[in-house]
Chains A and B, each alone.
Chain A
Amino acid sequence: MTQRMMMSVIGVALIAGAAQALAHDHFRVIGTLTKHQDSRLEVKNREGKTTAIKLDKQTVITQDKKKVGATELKVGQTLVVNAYGDSGDELLALEIRIVPPIAAGKTK
């Protein structure tokens, strides 16, 4: 019986996991880097919403169209992050661009 239950749990986990992977959607987060710790960022957009974003080894970081390392990410920089996840709150970064600060009055 225990084996049956374990196999059931594994089966459910596999199906649910596959569905979760398929459900990932793409997001762009534009804002100011407010926190950078290990492989985790927090970016605050102009509406004041903070989004947590994880980095992995595949994350590409660029500045002036040149690849740079994660150590170049500094609090206060303006970032354009293309990421994916199953909601806009916890994302994995695919690409991060360090861009010039957005001047006040140049946004909507």
Chain B
Amino acid sequence: MKSLGNTVNPVTAPPGPQHVPSTRTLAVASGISLLIAVIVLLVAVLPAEYGLDPLGAGRALGFVALSQAVAVAPVPPPEGDTLAPVQQGPVALYPGQYKFDSRQFVLGPYEYIEYKYHLAKDATMLFSWIADGDVMHDFHGDPDGAPANASQSFDKQPRRRAEGSFAAPFSGIHGWFWENPGGETITVRLTTAGFYTAAHEFRFDGTRQARQVRSLDAIPVGE
């Protein structure tokens, strides 16, 4: 048998003085990793994906613009007055004027749209809508700051039209989902008035748009 001489069998050799990081080293490395990850999150990921820029660096580096290119950011609550009512017996007083809005939505085959207003808790709205064909609809609300699956449905009975009033059960965006279930184009007309402060349109293709609501000053005064 051939002698191995002074060579060391790597399989049976006793463990040598290999470098094994200490617990402290690992903890420091983990801490550094976490710190870098948090910095990347705050500087790049949150500004680029959600438009959230807590450090201001995202705007300076141009990441905030990326969030605006793709409509994935949640709808922020409106700034300023939220028009929450103060109840005095049968009267509810608001810190601002009510608004009104009138829209027409053309839904091509199989398209859908969501149109919602921001209302404070207990704020009221009058509405009327009519479709010239069978639509799937869902009148619902999304609480401020809640995830998408926190949506609450108020009415999803099949109908082609609805008129009514609404008192918001929570602060958030409230409105309608209409879907064209067939191959013919359908038009939906919506008219509302109420103590809302903003309107948002969400289309089937992922686009999102803020819509202007009109104040009472827009109504010509009759003689």
Contact = CB atoms under 8 A, between A and B. Distances in A.
Interface of A: 3-4, 7-8, 10-12, 14-16, 19-20, 22-30, 46, 80, 86-88, 97, 99-100, 102-103, 106-108
A21 B56 CA distance: 24
Interface residues of B, number: 31
Given A4-B29, A25-B71, A86-B72, A30 B37 contact: no
B41 interface: yes
Nearest to B187: A108
Contacts, number: 91
Interface of A is mostly: mixed
B103 to A, nearest CB: 15
Contact of A88 (B32, B33, B50, B206): B206
B108 interface: yes
A32 to B, nearest CB: 12
A23 B72 CA distance: 7
Contacts of A80: 110
B32 A8 contact: yes
Q: Which of B41, B109, B185, B205 has the most CB of A within 10 A?
A: B109
B173 interface: no
Contact of A108 (B46, B72, B185): B185
